[in-house]
Amino acid sequence: MRAETDKNNNLKKILQYISLAARRGSKLCTFPEFMMYYTASSQSSAALANIAEKISGEFVSSISEEAKRNSIQVIGTLYEKSPKPNRVYDTSFLIGENGKVITTYRKIHLYDALGFKESAKLYPGSSITKPVKTNAGKTGMMICYDLRFPEMSRILASSGSEILVVPSAWVQGKMKEEHWLTINKTRAIENGCYVISPDQVGNIYCGRSLVVDPYGKILLDMKKKEGIGIVDISLDEVKQVRQKLPLLRNRRIDIYTNLKI
């Protein structure tokens, strides 16, 4: 998806995608990071905070109604109001087919790297959200830059996640697409799980929304296209890979510790 600077236009597009995904037989529809609004670097933190909403606001409520109307689960994102003036949470949410918000996750790793400083506008979350059951399987929620911190995906996998869903807005740049492909495949391989990473396309983002299987095979790469890609996944594949390549079971957590210098 390519988000615009018009929140209402983005919402219309999102609702259309949900309806289309349901008509094509999908059980879970996932969206990129920043789907609510494209924030140019020139936009002030106060202006961004002004468009942010609560989870109970019109943006998520409209998506909830569409999810219920189409009996489909949805994972999306929003700029959520935070307690800190002129800062917002970067929040993902899971909506059930009954239209209820099942869980939320606030991005804990802010992208203060490679010339960007998300902390100038965003406020970090303070916890990792427990994996939850979805129609696709037990799902752990991450957002974009979180992919670069393997501790987080490992915690989610060891806590039962069969799938990691990672809404992203991966910025273009030197080797960035190579990093994107490599990191998504690595998180899948080392945890024996599916990784589903819908990504922003256009503006400053590289696109290439991905689905990677537990053995590291890319099942879907949407390149630079906007639209919907549908993938069938099998939890039997997770079980089989984790039996053959028992990386979670073979960990030596009895001796892992920081080394004294």
Average pLDDT, rounded, for the chain: 97
pLDDT of residue 257: 85
Q: What is the pTM (predicted TM-score) of this model?
A: 0.96
pLDDT above 90: residue 72 = yes
Q: Quick one: average pLDDT of 57-80?
A: 98
Instruction: Identify the H or E element spanning 51.
Output: helix 45-51
pLDDT above 90: residue 261 = no
| Arch. (CATH architecture) of 7-244 | 4-Layer Sandwich (3.60)
Return d(Cα 250, Cα 96) in angstroms, integer.
35
pLDDT above 90: residue 112 = yes
Token pair listed for 239: 């079980």
| Rounded percentage of the chain residues whose pLDDT exceeds 90 | 97
Q: Quick one: average pLDDT of 195-214?
A: 97
Q: Quick one: average pLDDT of 173-194?
A: 98
> In the chain, what are the domain boundaries?
7-244
Give the residue carrying structure tokens 């920081």.
Answer: 258
pLDDT above 90: residue 27 = yes
Count the Cβ atoms, other than its own, within 10 Å of residue 227: 10
pLDDT of residue 260: 84
Return d(Cα 165, Cα 107) in angstroms, integer.
13
pLDDT of residue 258: 84
Integer-rounded Cα Rg, in Å, for the chain is 18
Least confident range from 178-192, 220-234, 247-261: namely: 247-261
The pLDDT confidence band at residue 150, using thresholds 50, 70 and 90, is: very high
**Phi and psi torsions of 11, nearest 5°:** -65, -40
22: left (phi over 0), alpha (psi -120 to 50) or beta: alpha
Q: Quick one: average pLDDT of 76-83?
A: 98
